[in-house]
Chain A
Amino acid sequence: MLQINNLIAQIEDQTIINGLSLTINPGEVHAIMGPNGSGKSTLSKVLTGHPHYTVNGGSIQYDGQDLLEMDPEERAIAGIFLAFQYPVEIPGVNNESFIRMAYNAKRKARGESEVDAFDFAQLISEKLKLVEMDEEFLSRSVNQGFSGGEKKRNEILQMAVLEPKLAILDEIDSGLDIDALRIVAEAVNKLRTPDRSFAVITHYQRLLTYIVPDVVHIMVEGRIVRSGGRELALEVEERGYDWLTVAASAE
């Protein structure tokens, strides 16, 4: 599904991703943890083709294609979805129409006919139940005035509609209350299929008790410094990252 090999990427003369390698197979859930500023969100932006980041080395293969050759929208249409750490507000653009546009962009690329507003309303009302969101959020502008937690749920709603092959969830748990965390995690679990993969970026192992990962990676200074099973998450929660940082720089 995804093979990142020795990736080096920078923003404004500053190298943030520094020799990162990572392989995610179909159907796997990978958790990525690491201290603030270690480059987790940067990785998600590089994977989705954000124009501010420059890749200076390494390669990314996605579904047998050279991901770095693809435009951001091509990557999205090829099935890469990012639930943003900080979803932006888009005033004046209706949330439901926005999600429908995204849905139809995908259908169009596959040569399928577009879905009209009426049929889409039915489709999305099913998905709303999954994230236990109120219909009211559909008629508002995209994320405008949404609380932090509501924005996160709106991201998962989009994911549920767009049915990606690889979903990158950047701190989907931050800012969520206990109930919302459970709802979002359950929604993600329901969307797990044998060939859909997830990269779950988080600071808290609690999320991983709901969404049980196959692999946990620890990222420090733009590199994966350790990978392991679920227990690695518990270990960093107890011990912090220092011991890993020391281990990494001792290499």
Chain B
Amino acid sequence: MSQKLIEDITGREYQYGFTSDIESEAFPRGLSEDIVRMISAKKNEPEFMLEFRLKAYRHWLTLTQPVWPNVTYPDINFQNIQYYSAPKQVKKLNSLDEVDPELLRTFEKLGIPLSEQKKLANVAVDAIFDSVSVATTFKKKLFAAGVIFCPISEAVHEFPELVKKYLGSVVPHTDNYYAALNAAVFSDGSFVFVPKDTICPMELSTYFRINTEGSGQFERTLIVCEDNAHVSYLEGCTAPQFDTNQLHAAVVELVAHENAVIKYSTVQNWYAGDPKTGKGGIYNFVTKRGKCVGRKAKISWTQIETGSAITWKYPSCILIGDDSVGEFYSVALTNHRQQADTGTKMVHIGKGTRSTIISKGISAGKSNNTYRGLVQMNKSAHGAHNFTQCDSMLIGDRCSATTLPYIDVRNGTASVGHEASTLKVTEEQLFFFQQRGIRTEDAMATIINGFCQDVFKELPTEFAVEATQLLGLKLENSVG
């Protein structure tokens, strides 16, 4: 088939590739025990945090960089990364309007107004610039409702008991190479605590933005819902265009107690690198895990992965409480030279636990898109059930999609269902649209929307439209 049309529509370029001219304060490149101590000191952390970091750092030293089977990239030089970079702010801010206007403008350009006058209705936003939280909206209103939503650097000071209790309880520093690294050097992230019987009154959202070249971004997010508490949280990510690849190694931990519901959504649009060479894109090695500790707890991951040069990410659920529920809804789009190896792990421990996995992989250009998922039914998981559906969509014929479902059932009463399909978007389909007067961009958006419906409907409504547009943009031709 002729490649022209497909190339036209998949050729669109990244629109968030600008850098902002903001003075930043950064540490020298490289990692050592001194750097770890400096980070902790810089943030004035209590002793327990320094110990947490040092323990992780020492463990990290014993590990070697993992070699992931389905993605390839040159070795990362960990001594060439800057582990702390923060916008320079002279004094403590009393209100959002005191934030550097250049910073506010940056976030506005990204579609996230932070200032008091313009902030999004009914969505509280925590904005993270390089490694540091710069602003959190609706803080007071949330606090009145009993919900804590603040930078984790602040939580360490204000709620040390909660942090001590839960930090590392889901993803210990021994979990993997990047989790250890993150525990040692993380500089900020969001902390959410929803107390017993509380329904969080609005969407919570964090926007991550990398701005300084050569700086790694290691955020740490911790969300805890006590009994019968509910929260819906969304993270969004963008980065400027650089020539050198940026490392992003975040850790997200979720804890859901009895009957609690945590809904975690991600719209990831990190810079994917030069379309032709893949140079400069973000390496996204992220560990995300939720633990349903209590009975009937529910954790739901929804992710729209569109950016990054390399994505390596498996948001997972550990279903401990009886009748607890884990869900994973994912759209992963790869184009040009992008590589994504993403999926989930559902570990069933409690009786009657249920999980659902819906994964939609869209590949275009010369990209490679792998779904890797593990469903594990432990001996104790009587009557547990999983349903998995993996659909792949191929645009053009130089891309690839791989589906690797691993199933491990150790309980005879547990059941597992799996469905898979592959859809090819052909030029004949696109021509059919055109012949009816519909532009290819709109056709693409419509086809993708149809393909991803099952996942999009899980997104908070405020972001469903945004996600559709984002995917459309990713595949559109820049000359409309």
B2 within 8 A of A: yes
For residue B371, give the distance in angstroms from its CB to the closest CB of chain A: 18
B423 contacts partner chain A, Cβ-Cβ < 8 Å: yes
Separation of A94 and B435 alpha carbons in the complex (Å): 17
Given known contacts A92-B450, A92-B451, A76 and B437 CB-to-CB distance under 8 angstroms: yes
User: B431: CB under 8 A from chain A?
Assistant: yes
A73–B432 touching, CB < 8 Å: no
B residues within 8 A CB of A82? 435
Assembled-state Cα–Cα distance A93/B443 (Å)? 10
B426 located at the interface, meaning its Cβ lies under 8 Å from any Cβ of chain A in the complex: yes
Contact across chains for A73 and B434 when beta carbons are under 8 A apart: yes
Interface membership of chain A positions 47-84, coded 1 if the CB is closer than 8 angstroms to chain B and 0 otherwise? 01111100000000000000000011100110001101
Q: Say yes or no: is A123 at the interface (Cβ < 8 Å to chain B).
A: no
Q: How far is the CA of A141 from the CA of B453 in the complex (A)?
A: 13
Q: Give the distance to chain A from B67, nearest Cβ to Cβ, in Å.
A: 37
Question: Could you tell me the distance in whole angstroms from the C-beta of B210 to the nearest C-beta in chain A?
Answer: 34
A-B pair number, CB within 8 angstroms: 72
Which of B432, B438, B447 is close to A87, meaning CB atoms less than 8 Å apart? B432
Known: A84-B432, A91-B423, A105-B437. A52 touches B446 (CB 8 A): no
Q: How far is the CB of B287 from chain A (nearest CB, A)?
A: 32
| CB-based contact B453/A77 at 8 Å | no
A101–B434 CB distance below 8 A: no
Q: How far is the CB of B143 from chain A (nearest CB, A)?
A: 42
Cβ contact of B429, chosen from A50, A90, A97, cutoff 8 A: A90
With contacts A51-B2, A88-B426 taken as known, whether A93 is within 8 angstroms of B435 at the C-beta atoms is no
- Write out the residue numbers on chain A whose beta carbons fall within 8 Å of the beta carbon of B449: 92
From the candidates B427, B436, B439, B453, name the one contacting A51 in the complex (CB within 8 A): B427
Q: Counting CB contacts under 8 A, is B75 at the interface? A: no
Is B154 on the interface with A (CB-CB < 8 A)? no
Bound together, the chains give a CA A136 to CA B225 distance in angstroms of: 45
B442 contacts partner chain A, Cβ-Cβ < 8 Å: yes
Instruction: Mark B1-39 against chain A: 1 for CB-CB distance below 8 A, else 0.
Output: 010110000000000000000000000000000000000
B436 touching A76, Cβ below 8 Å: yes
B interface, size bucket? 20 to 34
**With A51-B427, A73-B439 as contacts: A91 and B434 at CB distance below 8 Å:** no
A229 and B434 CA atoms in complex are apart in Å by: 34
Instruction: With A51-B5, A92-B447 as known contacts, state yes or no: A72 contacts B435, CB within 8 Å.
Output: yes
A116-171: which have CB < 8 Å to B? 141, 158, 162
Which residues of chain B are within 8 angstroms of A87 by Cβ–Cβ distance? 432
Contacts of A52 in B (CB 8 A): 2, 427
Given A73-B439, A141-B450, also A90-B432 (CB < 8 A): yes
Instruction: Say yes or no for A180: interface residue by CB 8 A criterion.
Output: no
Least CB distance from B362 to A in Å reads: 12
Contact, CB under 8 Å: B453 / A102:
no
Determine the chain B residues whose CB is within 8 A of the CB of A49 once the complex forms. 434
Collect the chain B residues with CB atoms within 8 Å of residue A98's CB. 436, 446
In the bound complex, do residue B434 and residue A76 qualify as a contact, i.e. CB atoms below 8 Å apart?
yes
Q: Which of A49, A51, A97 has the largest count of B CB atoms less than 10 A from its CB? A: A51
- A109 in contact (CB, < 8 A): yes
Tell me whether A101 and B431 are in contact in the complex, defined as CB-CB below 8 angstroms, given that A51-B2, A92-B447, A93-B447 are known contacts.
no
Q: Is the C-beta of B47 less than 8 angstroms from some C-beta in chain A?
A: no
Complex-state Cα separation, A158 to B432, whole angstroms: 12
* Cβ-defined contact, A101 with B432, below 8 A: no
Query: In the assembled complex, which residues on chain B have CB atoms less than 8 Å from the CB atom of A91?
Result: 423, 450-451
Question: Is A106 positioned at the interface, with any CB of B under 8 Å from its CB?
Answer: yes
Residues of A within 8 A of B161 (CB): none
Contacts of B439 in A (CB 8 A): 73, 105
In whole angstroms, what is the CA distance A123 to B394 when docked?
A: 35
B428: Cβ under 8 A from any A Cβ: yes
Ordered by A's residue number, 17 sampled pairs between the chains whose C-beta atoms are within 8 Å are A50-B431, A51-B4, A51-B431, A73-B438, A73-B439, A76-B435, A76-B436, A76-B437, A91-B423, A92-B450, A92-B453, A93-B447, A99-B436, A101-B436, A101-B438, A101-B446, A105-B442
Nearest 3 A-B pairs (CB), nearest first?
Answer: A92-B450, A102-B436, A76-B437
In the complex, besides A88-B426, A88-B428, 8 extra interface pairs with C-beta distance below 8 angstroms are: A51-B4, A71-B434, A72-B434, A91-B451, A92-B451, A98-B446, A102-B438, A105-B436
